[in-house]
Amino acid sequence: MLRDSRSARTSPRPDPLPQAGKGQARGSDTRRGPESPYAWLRLAASVALSTIGGVGMWSVVVVLPAVQAEFGTARAGASLPYTLAMIGFVFGGIITGRLADRFGIVLPVVGGTVMLGVGYVAASFAATLWQFALVHGVMIGLLGSSATFGPIVADVSHWFTRRRGIAVAIAASGSYLAGTVWPPVVQHFVATVGWRQTYLGIALFCVATMLPLVLVLRPRLPGHGSEAAAAAAARPPRAIRGMSPAMLQALLVVAGICCCVAMSMPQVHIVAYCADLGYGTRHGAQMLSAMLGFGIVSRLASGWVMDRIGGLPTLLVGSTLQALSLLLYLPFNGLVSLYVVSALFGLFQGGIVPSYAMIVREYFPPREAGVRVGLVFSATLAGMALGGWMSGAIYDATGSYRAAFLNGIGWNLANIAIALVLLRLGRGAPRLSAPAGRAAAGS
């Protein structure tokens, strides 16, 4: 028996199965399994897709002042395209997550890429604010960029076991890479050629770069779609004492909304805030870029932390630090201090969203990852949408962003409370019973 085991380890590849088809032979190739070199290549392609496709979340933030001036609307009205785009993300993430669970990630990402290109072309020809807003909500948010966020993170989680935390954090960093790269690029072209021509360029760039990247994601995990394979690849999910899966999912959705209502205040309005203070939109775009750049550092660090302490403790730490950084915006509004506070905000809060994906993988079956991660991530985007609109409305009512920052802090405290409750109820709770035949080896 020892000889057989040693022979299996040293064999260059598994023996082909008798009469196996082409797909089965590929499925037996460990070079395409979890933690394999291909898994890391797939992760890199996923990050690139998320970074490019994430333009749907950030371009409208940068063009907000130009759109407000062209269509002659108030700040809350100018925030409407962003709000509708986030609402589109909410439902799009759920839909594309379910499609990814059933058919794999390629179908939703290809469809999203095509609609992203069509959406930016349509937005560039918008004659009214409502046309501009509806295109962002339906084509860019619902049918476009949503496929490159939650579903991609959920797909990556299937390809890693021992390093799932850092892999999920890297994948989730794509949206922040988008926020780091796109705002200064969009701001440059808006200032030189106008926002309409900039949108046409975005459409062409997305289609030309994303479709080739999708080809990397064509192979599927060996045994993907098989209940037995999914069972063998993961330990039984954990339990929360006295809480059903539906209740846990609902609380995670509420937590996602709360944390991102708070998160949206500086992320959505920092450009306009700097313009109001007389610093100009260029400094605001740079602050947003710095904020999200440091958010990438935070997300990568949170991945390392999640692999050691789990998703719920990481959520609590990130949410607490985010509340502290929001407080710093109240006494400091100088140009240099705003750069520093924005960098700290990014550094403190970047690990919050990836922690939800880790929590889902810890407390729910792997076969439900796509739709459940999509649902929680959609809730975070709903929070961004609500918070973006709410902050604009508060600004219109008060003439200042101070009350909007206080509003964000209040929502953040609610998120902290949910994390504390879940952490306390989940401490020491046993794992759910495993289905018959589940392998003993864990993820």
Q: Which of 49-63, 204-218, 240-254, 420-434 has the highest mean pLDDT?
A: 204-218
- % pLDDT > 90, the chain: 49
- 223 — pLDDT class (breaks 50, 70, 90): low
Answer whether residue 142 is part of any domain. yes
Residue 349 tokens, joined: 């809060």
**pLDDT at residue 428, as a whole number:** 62
Domain that holds residue 376: 39-218+233-426
**Based on the structure, what is the number of domains in the chain?**
1
Comparison of pLDDT for 402 and 179, the residue scoring more: 402
**Closest-CA residue to 92 (of 35, 128, 53, 126):** 53
Residues 56-88 have pLDDT tens digits of: 988 988 898 888 889 888 766 777 887 788 788
Comparison of pLDDT for 295 and 252, the residue scoring more: 252
Q: How far apart are CA 28 and CA 230, in angstroms?
A: 15
CB 188 within 8 A of CB 64: no
Average pLDDT, the chain: 84
Q: How far apart are CA 92 and CA 146, in angstroms?
A: 5
- 386 — pLDDT class (breaks 50, 70, 90): confident
**pLDDT at residue 426, as a whole number:** 81
Residues 120-149 have pLDDT tens digits of: 999 999 999 999 999 999 999 999 999 998
Answer whether residue 247 is part of any domain. yes
**pLDDT at residue 237, as a whole number:** 66
Answer whether residue 119 is part of any domain. yes
Query: The CATH number of the domain where 275 resides is what?
Result: 1.20.1250.20
CB 255 within 8 A of CB 413: no
Comparison of pLDDT for 116 and 382, the residue scoring more: 116
Answer whether residue 354 is part of any domain. yes
Comparison of pLDDT for 337 and 238, the residue scoring more: 337
Rounded mean pLDDT, 358-373? 88
**pLDDT at residue 30, as a whole number:** 56
Helices (H), 215-351: 227-232, 245-276, 281-309, 311-328, 335-349
Secondary structure (DSSP) of 127-193:
-SHHHHHHHIIIIIIITTGGGGSHHHHHHHHHT-STTHHHHHHHHHHHHHHHHHHHHHHHHHHHHHH
Buried b (16+ CB within 10 A) or exposed e, 373-383: bbbbbbbbbbb
Answer whether residue 432 is part of any domain. no
Q: How far apart are CA 129 and CA 106, in angstroms?
A: 33
**Closest-CA residue to 237 (of 433, 27, 37, 40):** 433
Residue 4 tokens, joined: 């057989």
SS3 of residue 298 by DSSP: helix
Helices (H), 329-368: 335-349, 352-363
39-43, 210-214, 295-299: range with lowest mean pLDDT: 295-299
Answer whether residue 151 is part of any domain. yes
Comparison of pLDDT for 319 and 399, the residue scoring more: 319
Answer whether residue 187 is part of any domain. yes
Answer whether residue 16 is part of any domain. no
**pLDDT at residue 439, as a whole number:** 37
- Say whether pLDDT at 245 is over 50: yes
